[in-house]
Amino acid sequence: MHQIRRRWFVAAARLSWVCAAVVSLCPAPTLSAQSSGAPPAGAPPVGDSSRVVLPPPAPDPLRGTPSAISALGTQARAMQDGFERNHRTGLRFYNGGADASCEVPLGRICYWNNNGDVPPPAERNDAKLEREQLMELLTQAQAADPKDDWVSGMRVRYAIESEQREVAVAAARACAGTAWWCSALEGLALHNANQHQSATAAFARALSTMPPAQQCVWTDMTWWLDPTMHAAYKARACADRGAENTRLARLAQPLWMLPANDVQNELYARRTMSRVHSLARIPYDLQWGDDLLESQVRYGWPTAWSVQNGGVADPRPPSVIGHEPTPSYDFMPLPAAVPTPVAATAGDWNPRRAKARMRYAPRYASGFGALPYQFARFLRGDTTILAGGYRLMRELEMGRAPYTAAMTLDAFDGTAAPQARRDSAQANGALLLPLPSKMLASLEVLAPVGKRAARVRTAVQPLPAGTRLSEYLLLQRGDVSATPMLERNALQAYGSNEIEAGTSIGIYWEIYRPATPGQPLQVSLRATRVGAGFLQKLGSSFGLSKAVTPVSIKYNDNGRPDGGPGRSLNINFPQVPAGDYQFTLMVSGGGVTDSTTQVIRVKGGK
């Protein structure tokens, strides 16, 4: 079921939620994109009969000068206004989410995210036809005067609304007006078409050519940040926020496997579309203001519209609902992860966080899941090799293969982030990368056919100097060859620390000290149920309870004929109760014992 995110109007910018959805009963204040709700400087007190003549607002250069607008441009402006009036009047009723409460009140509107709600109603066919007619006129008007910024913006807007991605890109590239505006429109259209690198380049051109004050506003990420971060962020001068913005956008980027940062492009796309919306009528039928701007920068612009009422006995007029793309997710990390990303854990991201400061629905993936994974570290000389195993469980609903799997490491020190990528990947496996220092690892899988994605992001660090025993990697089956190798076994990694009871699994590890028939090493593998009581453990020690210690293996390791470090076994994990089991590998010899332990979760046990 799709998530439905809606905005519901309240009567006035500073009224409480009690007045929700009663637009006509309480007059809405007149707002501008810069208004704060406070009276203008020098305004007389309430009851003062003196008249103050305020200067007229500065003309908006993107609207165009009336005397310079072409005849087709004038017709397009009138037709657009009429279309949105008809669009608003003919919106279909929506009865989903009638019991939803306000999650984020924003001035005249209210935003909430209601998971599992019914999709919005389909748009009327006559509205689609009227939009097509408007687009034809906008095309003619842009051809007659490609310097008309208003026409170029509206043509891109309605091409995106009608899901004509190529038309939107062509319309943006036909723009010959204000330089920064044309570049921003191109970035918007390219981002909507999932052309991430080209969109990044277009937005970079827009930012470099727009006025500095506007650039400062467009790059401001305050609305996406946790309130506890606002003071420190705002304390920086605008010119000094570049590094912090880059760090924040990198941490919020959904998939590091992509060639450019789509979440940063999304921020600029929202700014651009909001600027387009500020130039003309929208279905809300309200004057553009800060509340609309903030809602669209934080949660995106609506892609569907409807109206809702309180029932047959409710005398209030219907309220307009804007539906943003769903499902959408909060990709911003928790505040604790921002100063030191290389210390972050998987728990520092919660895409389904309640009362999120931002949400984003990537166009290349209709759903994001938590990726089951296993990280294991090995040595090649003095260099640590990180194996990132993944497993696509049925619950992720990734759809059919092929998949794209990638693991990226970022030290957040300005150096290039290494990446291992496997196209046409299977549903489970492991990727290998050198790990030179403490870094943040992002292990990701994208399903292009199913349009789903899953990832895990957590800090990793190299093995200590002098390590004699690697960590172990679970396999789909053990490597029975005489010379097991990490590179070969990575392809058949199990990919998770969660297994089914009664499963036969393999295990791969490496030993970095010599073993010979004359001086063998003693190897033991033991799985012990976490939380078992004293009597259960006592019974297990006498071999009376497999439920507590389902795996217990001991043998002498005489070394490999070629002296290589790799070892592998096949293990039958019996039917045991579901729960967590501590799985320990121990190697002893010459009075020295090394061990490595991980927690294995058994599912579906008896």
pTM: 0.88
- Residue 347 in any domain: the answer is no
Residues 460 and 472 in one domain: no
Residues 519 and 430 in one domain: no
Residues 433 and 482 in one domain: no
Closest CA to 431 of 420, 445, 416: 420
Residues 233 and 372 in one domain: no
Residue pair 459/337 in contact by the 8 Å Cβ criterion = no
- Residue 357 in any domain: the answer is no
Q: How many residues does the chain have?
A: 606
pLDDT of 396 reads: 84
In 337-388, which residue ranges form alpha helices assigned H by DSSP?
none
Residues 405 and 487 in one domain: no
Tokens matching residue 200? 């990044």
Q: What is the 3-state secondary structure (H, E, C) of 41-55?
A: CCCCCCCCCCCCCCC
Residues 403 and 473 in one domain: no
- 412 φψ region: left (φ > 0), alpha (ψ -120 to 50), beta (else): left
pLDDT under 50: residue ranges of the chain = 1-50, 534-535, 537-538, 540, 542, 544
The number of C-alpha atoms within 13 Å of 394 and in the hemisphere containing its C-beta is 0
Tokens matching residue 94? 């929506």
d(Cα 597, Cα 224) in Å, to the nearest integer? 39
User: Strand order of the sheet with strand 304-308?
Assistant: 104-106, 109-114, 4-9, 319-323, 304-308
Residues 104 and 81 in one domain: yes
pLDDT of 519 reads: 95
Beta strands in 274-358 (DSSP E): 304-308, 319-323
The DSSP symbol for 386 reads: E
Residues 444 and 511 in one domain: no
Tokens matching residue 383? 């260099």
Q: Is 97 helix (H, G, I), strand (E, B) or coil?
A: coil
Residues 191 and 278 in one domain: yes
pLDDT of 312 reads: 67
Tokens matching residue 6? 């809606």
Residues 510 and 450 in one domain: no
d(Cα 605, Cα 500) in Å, to the nearest integer? 7
| Number of domain units in the chain | 3
The DSSP symbol for 200 reads: H
Tokens matching residue 324? 């943003």
Residues 178 and 294 in one domain: yes
Residues 456 and 492 in one domain: no
Which helix (H) or strand (E) segment holds residue 523: the answer is strand 521-529
Domain that holds residue 536: 468-606
The DSSP symbol for 334 reads: P
- Residue 354 in any domain: the answer is no
d(Cα 30, Cα 52) in Å, to the nearest integer? 17
Q: What amino acid occupies position 575?
A: Q
The Cα-based distances of 69 to 56, 64, 100, 172, 281 in angstroms read 21, 7, 45, 19, 18
- Residue 573 in any domain: the answer is yes
d(Cα 143, Cα 164) in Å, to the nearest integer? 18
